[in-house]
Amino acid sequence: MKFGDLSVKKHRLVIGGCDTVELAKKYGTPLYVFDVDRAVGTAKAYVDILKREYPDFTVCYASKAFSCTGIYGLLAPLGVGADVVSGGELYTALKGGMPPDMIYFHGNNKTEEEIVYALDSGVECFVADSERELYLINKHARSPQNVLIRVNPGVEAHTHRFIQTTTIDSKFGFSIPDGTAEEVIRSLGRYENVRFKGIACHIGSQIFEPQSFDIAIDKTVDFIKRLNTLGIQAERLDLGGGFGIHYIEQDKPLTPEQYMSNSVAHLKEAIARSGIKPPRLIVEPGRSIVGEAGITLYTVGAIKTIKNVKTYAAVDGGMFDNPRVMLYDAQYTAVVADRADVENTHKYSLAGKCCESGDILLDGIDLPELKSGDIVAVLSTGAYHYSMASNYNRNLVPPVVAVKNGQSSYMVKPQTYEDLTRNDVTPVFAEDKV
């Protein structure tokens, strides 16, 4: 078996040179495991291909995929910046060593406090998504602040409808087709502390076919040409991310090199056709850097067979560490950690431990016969798992353990029950003191 950088040795699943059964024994389960070399190698692939084919570029890691201080410490030395969407992500990126002049601040409803914090921190650029945001940036900036305007080019990427972001009714971006984007950009002259640098778009997530990106490039380049006729220069073009990864056998993602080569070739053609000045290209991979670098380990508990219906195998995790199944009907591949290359002979519904009937991590998956105490590894969980995890049912968010060259170390330490109640207080009212 070979899945990304995972391997099997003596029937056992190995990640980053570490035996997953031994990891489960050492750190407990549920456990997020993160392959450092896999993530760094993927990020470097984006940088290297753009250095060769489009040298005026910035790669920004999309923090929402997986944000902790450690990830920025790995990526910043590669020259990779950060796309953040909240004050918390900004704080984490800065604490992790990400230079503020490599940070782009996204988000469709940044609060006034977040905008002030970002300005004080010296972020490189805001990606503005509302007129209110432009007003607040102008109000609080002490000098002209770099701003990209997020536009909606009206491209419907072939992905789950909840993660399409440029459909006509999307909450994100100013529409190009209805003229709103042009109107907003033309009005920027009234803001003395807003410096227009270009446009940004993001068409969705988990996209496999390059045609969606090609259409977005055509529409945004045509829009830049239109702005040029108005005497407005767009120096930067942010095409976002959304590059798909491998979750199940049917998924056929491109490599970073293929995604970038296809997009750069099409961008160069569009630039030549339109006659615009080549803009700085910004791309924002997130899931594709960390997604396949992570797995989650669970311990099987109760096994319950409903005759002629199905067999449930319950694990010690669930929707609190992976809400994507309930949100997007996400699908995964899983293996039994100590029998990873053994024939699959039984069908199971891998159930979570939360008090929700819908808390099913994998429904109808083929595995070797399970017994209580088995360790099951769910693959490609490096993106949108730790970052979306919650304490639902007062479960603890699992820790993250980084692995490299057969060594392991915490990247995020375990929560404790004390952590759960740390900020809880019993309310006291004046009448209670009488």
> Which residues are known catalytic residues?
355
- The count of residues in the chain is 434
Tokens at 158, concatenated: 């072939």
Q: Say if strands 12-15 and 7-9 run parallel, antiparallel, or are unpaired.
A: antiparallel
C-alpha span between 115 and 126 (Å, rounded): 9
Count the neighbouring beta carbons within 10 Å of the beta carbon of residue 79.
Answer: 14
- Whether residue 90 contacts residue 100, with contact meaning beta carbons closer than 8 Å, is answered with no
Q: Burial, 56: exposed, middle or buried (Cβ in 10 Å; 0-12, 13-18, 19+)?
A: exposed
Q: Which residues pair with 82 in a beta bridge?
A: 61, 103
Residue 247: which of 295, 212, 211 has the closest Cα?
295
Phi first, then psi: what are they for 25, rounded to 5°? -65, -40
C-alpha span between 333 and 1 (Å, rounded): 12
Tokens at 338, concatenated: 């100590």
- Whether residue 281 contacts residue 370, with contact meaning beta carbons closer than 8 Å, is answered with no
Residues 6+ positions from 120 with CB-CB distance below 8 Å: none
Listed in order, strand segments (DSSP E) in 307-382 are: 310-315, 334-336, 346-351, 360-367, 375-379
C-alpha span between 390 and 27 (Å, rounded): 20
- Whether residue 262 contacts residue 283, with contact meaning beta carbons closer than 8 Å, is answered with no
C-alpha span between 114 and 103 (Å, rounded): 14
Chain-centroid distance of CA 337 in Å reads 26
Residue 216: which of 167, 159, 272 has the closest Cα?
167
Residue 48: half-sphere exposure toward Cβ, Cα within 13 Å: 10
b/e map 334-361, b = 16+ CB within 10 Å: bbbbbbbeeeeeeebbbbbbbeeeebbb
Residue linked to tokens 């060769």: 52
Distances from the Cα of 340 to the Cαs of 117, 170, 333, in angstroms? 48, 42, 11
